[in-house]
Amino acid sequence: MTKLPDVRKKYLADFAAFSGNGGSDVPPWLVELRSEAIEHFNRQGFPGSRDEQWRLTNFSRLKETDFCLANGDRPPLNTDEVRKHLLTAGSDQRLVFVNGRYSEGALQEHVARYARPQDNPFTALGTAFMSDGAFVHIPANVVLSEPIQLLFLTTGAAGPTVVHPRCLVLVEESGAASVVETHIGMTDGSYWSNVVTEAVVQDNAQLQVYRIQREGGEASHTATTQSYQGRDSSFDLTTVELGSILSRHDINAVLDGPGAECRLYGLSQLQGRQHVDHHTTIEHAQPHCNSWEYFNGIYDERSRGVFNGRIIVQQGAQLTDSKQTNNNLLLSENARADSQPQLEIYADDVKCTHGATLGWTGGRRNDALVVDGHAGCRQDRASK
C-alpha cells in the first residue's frame, strides 16, 4: 500500500473520529455519501503547483496548519456585533450559523448531486464532514418579495479550526427568490472555512444569490458554488471578496434547458498580502441560452488576484450568446493580477466573446501584459 502523506492521514483520522462520535447518527444514505467523499479526498489530496487548475494559488498554509474540526459548542456572541451583519432587524427570513452549525438536514435527491466530491478535493472534504447546513426550498409558483439571509459566523478557538458550511437552494418551477449568503469572521485568529453551495433552478424559475465574504484577517476561505438550471430559468450570482488572507472560489454553472440565462458578477478589493482566486466554468448544454460574466478586482500593496474563466458550449447548443470580461486595477507596484479567460466551443452558430484588462495607477514602473490569455504585472519588459 502506498504510504500517504501526513496531512492526508490527519484528515482520514479526523474523519474516523467524526464518524464514530456523533457523526454516525445520520441516515444510511448520508453515511455512504460521506464515506465516498473522504475516499475522493484521499485519492486527490490537496492540490499542488503541478495541477493546472490550481497552480496560481499556494495552499501550503492549509497543508501545514493543524486545523481541528470545530465542535458543536456555540460560544457566547456579542449581540451588537452580530446585529451589524443582519439585513433587517424584523425579518424572520433568516438563518444564522455559528461555526457551521444550525439546521436539520437536506434533501437526499439533491445534496451533493451537483457539487460532486470527485470534481474538487475541497468539495470532497466538505461533503465528508457534512453535518448541519442550510436548505432553502421555494415551492412551485411561490415568489418571495424579501430576500432570505444565510449568515455564517466563525468564532475564535484555542487553536486553528476548520468549519464546513453547507447550503442547498432549490427553486421549483416558476418560483422566484433572492438569497444573501454572508460569511463573517468574528476573530482575527487562524481558521479555515470550507463552503459548498448548490443552487437548483427549475423550469421558468428565478434565483438571485448575493454572496459576501468578510472572513478574519488570518482566515483561509475555500468555496464551491454549483448551479444547475432548467428551461427558461434565470440565475444571478454576485460575489464580493473583502476578507481572509487566502481565498479560492470555484463557481460552476450548468445551463441544461433551452432559454436559460446566467449572470455572474464578482468584485475583489484586497490589500496587504491577501490572495483571491476565482475559477468559473459556465457550461451551455442546451441551445438558445445566454450567459454574462463580469469580474473586477482592485489590488493594493502586495495582494494578488487570480481569475480563470471557462465557457463551454456543448455540441448542439446552437444560438448560444456568452460574454466574459475580467478587469483589474493595481494600486501598488507590488500588487499582481493573473487572468486566463477561455472558450471551448463545439457548436458553430454561437456568439462568444472574452477579454481581460489590467490597469496600473503608477507611471511606467511596470508593464501591463495580456499574453496567451494571462494578464499580469511584471517589472521586466516581456520578450519573445
Q: Is the pLDDT of residue 97 over 60?
A: no
15: helix, strand or coil: helix
Pairing of strands 206-214, 234-241: parallel
b/e 360-378 (16+ beta carbons within 10 angstroms → b): beeeeebeeeeeebebbbe
Write the pLDDT tens digit of every residue in 150-209.
999 888 777 799 999 999 999 999 999 999 999 999 888 899 999 999 999 999 999 999
Contact between residue 360 and residue 299 where contact means Cβ atoms under 8 Å apart: no
Residue 239 cell numbers, joined: 460575489
Per-residue confidence band for 330, with pLDDT thresholds at 50, 70 and 90: very high
CA distances from 108 to 29, 56, 198, 307, 320 (A): 7, 35, 13, 33, 33
Residue 139 cell numbers, joined: 415551492
Per-residue confidence band for 28, with pLDDT thresholds at 50, 70 and 90: confident
Identify each DSSP E strand in 274-331 by its residue range. 275-284, 290-299, 304-313, 320-330
21: helix, strand or coil: coil
Determine the length of the chain: 384
Write the pLDDT tens digit of every residue in 332-373.
999 999 999 899 999 999 999 998 898 988 654 444 444 344
pLDDT at res. 317: 95
**Run of H or E residues at 61:** helix 60-64
Q: Which residues have C-beta within 8 Å of that of residue 326, sequence separation ≥ 6?
A: 295, 296, 297, 307, 309, 339, 341, 355, 356, 357, 375
Q: How many CB atoms lie within 10 A of CB 267?
A: 14
CA 56-61-62 angle, 5° bins? 95
Per-residue confidence band for 108, with pLDDT thresholds at 50, 70 and 90: low
C-alpha 101/C-alpha 132 separation (Å) is 5
DSSP 143: B
Residue 34 cell numbers, joined: 460521506
Residue entry with cell 441516515: 27
